[in-house]
């Protein structure tokens, strides 16, 4: 099987991740993921999830930034799950669990934070599902941080049941949103 290696540096942290044809942004970090990573809010302790992890840049970055966290990386795509597991093993990360899951359905733990660069192809329905599942699984005081491309109003509306929803940054059509419980 052919593959690519994505080499990037984000906030001084080098990432070298294997990717495959058929996965999102297979040759380099997309701008949305970069905007999210460069502005990530990371808890000091607890459990977090990267939803729609792809080959793993968000979850692996979070784990490298704070190895004390328990990190779940979830994706519905079997190739993404396999590739993310491979990248986690390459880094030797013992605090990361990769699962095949439709959003947070297979994560049976309360979370301190959820991160996502939701797939555009799944549209508003995915963001609404993520908001509903996050509302059930994110602890009081926890948050969801996501980046959306030209879907800011839909995302803000979807997370309306949260304590607060704010746009932290806008860059080239992307909106970085944090929804706090």
Dist. CA 110–CA 102, nearest whole Å: 17
CATH superfamily of this structure's domain 29-180: Vaccinia Virus protein VP39 (3.40.50.150)
Choose among 116, 117, 119: nearest CA to 32. 117
Tokens 């602890």 map to which residue? Answer: 139
- Among 116, 122, 109, 100, which residue's Cα sits nearest to residue 159? 116
Tokens 């080098």 belong to: 14
Residue 26 to residue 6: CA distance in whole angstroms: 7
pTM: predicted TM-score of the whole model, two decimal places: 0.96
pLDDT at residue 123 above 90? no
Q: Where are the beta strands (DSSP E) in the chain?
A: 4-10, 13-19, 47-51, 70-75, 96-100, 111-116, 138-149, 164-171, 174-180
Cα 113 from Cα 145, distance rounded (Å):
7
User: Which pLDDT tens digit goes with each residue over 127-139?
Assistant: 999 999 999 999 9
Tens digit of pLDDT for each residue in 32-78?
A: 999 999 999 999 999 999 999 999 999 999 999 999 999 999 999 99
Q: What is the rounded distance in angstroms from the CA atom of residue 78 to the CA atom of residue 67? A: 26
Ordered by start, the domain boundaries in the chain are: 29-180
| Best CA proximity match to 43, nearest among 14, 28, 17, 63 | 63
Residues forming a β-bridge with 180: 143, 164
Choose among 107, 99, 68, 64: nearest CA to 81: 99
For 35, the token pair is 């905007």
State yes or no: pLDDT of 119 exceeds 90. Answer: no
């Amino acid at each position: 099987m052919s593959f690519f290696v994505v080499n990037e540096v984000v906030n001084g942290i080098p990432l070298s991740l294997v990717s495959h044809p058929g996965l999102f942004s297979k040759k380099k970090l997309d701008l949305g993921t970069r905007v999210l990573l460069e502005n990530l809010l990371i808890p000091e302790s607890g459990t977090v999830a990267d939803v729609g992890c792809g080959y793993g840049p968000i979850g692996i970055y979070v784990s490298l930034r704070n190895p004390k966290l328990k990190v779940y990386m979830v994706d519905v795509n079997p190739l993404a799950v396999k590739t993310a597991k491979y990248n986690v093993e390459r880094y030797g990360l013992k605090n990361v669990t990769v699962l095949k899951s439709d959003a947070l359905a297979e994560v049976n733990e309360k979370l301190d934070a959820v991160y996502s660069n939701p797939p555009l192809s799944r549209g508003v329905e995915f963001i609404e599902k993520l908001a509903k599942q996050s509302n059930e699984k994110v602890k009081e005081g926890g948050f969801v941080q996501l980046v959306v491309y030209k879907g800011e109003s839909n995302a803000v509306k979807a997370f309306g049941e949260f304590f607060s929803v704010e746009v932290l940054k806008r860059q080239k059509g992307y909106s970085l949103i944090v929804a706090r419980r």
